[in-house]
Amino acid sequence: MTVNRTILGRPLRTVAFDVFVSGAVLIFGLLGVAAQPGGWAAVAVGAGMAVALLFRRSHPSSVAAVVGALGIGQVIAGWGPLPMDVAVLVALYSVVKYADRLLDGVLAAIGALAGAVLAARQVDSPAPWWGSAISFGLITGAVWLVGLNVRTRRLYVLSLEERAATLEREREAEARAAVASERTRIARELHDVVAHSMAVMIVQADGARYMLDRDPETARQAVKVVADTGRQALEDMRRLVGVLREPSPPEPAAVQTAAAGPDGAEAAGRDGPAAGDDPQRRRIALAELPTLLDRFRAAGLRIRHTLTGEAPPLPPGLELTVYRVVQEALTNALKHAGVGAGVELTLEYARDTVLVRVVDDGQGRPVVGPAPTGGHGLVGMRERVGVYDGSLTAGARLAGGWQVEARLPLPSSAGTTEVIAA
């Protein structure tokens, strides 16, 4: 684990580097205190430049102005170019790289070139002064171009980081919207299940009232159905309220890891529009599963259906969840494995769980026409399975293709819902 240490809100590494640069400028000013023009006054100018360079990242334009003013003062005093004047180049580089406006860097370059010309006229050399001016100018121009190149790369990296942050926020917003949409759809379907149960209770209660004197045994059975249906409706209502009230749970790591499909697309890419809704909002049962499989076979999938164990009567909401998981998994297989892909659907009933497994071989052809669609892919399946405290795993297989496996716990009183599920 990397620990980023800071001093006064700045990274320790950058602070140490700036202190090193300032210390080097101060040492350059002290080395020639006995021989250089200006003596201790020149050392004071060098110390001012060194202190100013400590703030070259946070206030580059101000630092360039201070260092430039001290350098011009040095030239006016007639001290000529000194080793500590390397601070002018450092300030020029800093203002080009860190300033908000490139115009500040251009103005700093003009000032530095003017100072170089004035300093060149004070160089004690038999060569013409303009030769020194050209040398100083070339050095100044090279430093400016290096600063411009680093500035361009820095701004490019910052733009990439900002774009990545924006895309991440958009993905999070889309994920939240998909979860909210799927929760609304689940709540609507659970509401229909509860309404169906209430209708059954009313019919059975009316029948019990009419048969109470004529056939007490039939009335007793009707009352039992009312009680069992009421318990199941109450449980479905509790789940409905939980769907509407609970905030969106964080994405589990296993599902996030499986968010990339065989073709590298994210889980959202394995989604489809909610075209599976019936306009009449009829209650879907697992008895319609063969029809669903025939529809996908007609679309081009080679589906093999395996049923293991004896299917107990399921509560309507749980039955709908199993149906939707199969629908979404087959939709993903058709969209991403392609037409002609082999798919193995397994429904395994145990004493306390029902297991849904959909495995495709990923060896189909690209889909030409629109594929049968379901809800919101893995997001929808995860939400539906979570309502019934189940678990969902999805991911690519080493042998190729994709696997979706949902494990749903069966209620202990599943057998009491036989009349409702019929």
CATH of the domain at 274: 3.30.565.10
Residue 297 sits in the same domain as residue 414: yes
Residue 118 sits in the same domain as residue 185: no
Residue 58 sits in the same domain as residue 185: no
Residue 319 sits in the same domain as residue 402: yes
Last residue of a domain, one of 84, 99, 124: 124
Q: Give Cα 174 distance to the centre of its chain.
A: 10
Residue 185 sits in the same domain as residue 280: yes
Cα 417 to Cα 44, 316, 364: the distances in Å are: 93, 8, 41
Flag whether 137 is in a domain: no
Q: Distance between CA atoms of 21 and 23, rounded to whole angstroms?
A: 5
The pTM score is 0.47
CA dihedral 205, 210, 215, 216 (to 10 degrees): 50
Q: What is the pLDDT of residue 404?
A: 93
Residue 185 sits in the same domain as residue 64: no
Q: What is the pLDDT of residue 251?
A: 42
Distant-in-sequence, close-in-space partners of 400: CB < 8 Å, separation ≥ 6: 262, 361, 362, 363
Flag whether 42 is in a domain: yes
Residue 120 sits in the same domain as residue 231: no
Residue 116 sits in the same domain as residue 180: no
Q: List per-residue pLDDT tens for the chain, 422 residues long.
A: 444 676 666 677 778 888 888 888 888 777 766 566 767 787 888 888 888 888 888 888 898 888 888 888 887 877 777 777 888 888 888 898 888 888 888 888 888 888 878 777 766 666 676 777 888 888 888 888 998 898 899 888 888 988 988 888 888 888 778 777 777 777 777 666 676 667 767 777 877 777 777 888 887 887 877 777 777 777 767 766 666 665 544 443 333 333 333 333 333 334 433 334 443 445 567 888 898 898 888 878 899 999 988 888 888 888 888 888 998 899 888 888 888 889 999 999 988 899 999 999 988 776 555 544 444 577 778 888 888 888 999 988 888 889 999 999 987 644 433 333 32
Flag whether 156 is in a domain: no
Domain that holds residue 250: 173-421
Residue 196 sits in the same domain as residue 275: yes
Residue type, 364: G
Residue 413 sits in the same domain as residue 349: yes
Last residue of a domain, one of 107, 124, 141: 124
Flag whether 134 is in a domain: no
Last residue of a domain, one of 89, 124, 159: 124
Q: What is the pLDDT of residue 271?
A: 41
User: Residue 273, Cβ neighbours under 10 Å: how many?
Assistant: 12
Flag whether 139 is in a domain: no
Tokens of 397: 């297989």
Residue 318 sits in the same domain as residue 396: yes
Residue 305 sits in the same domain as residue 401: yes
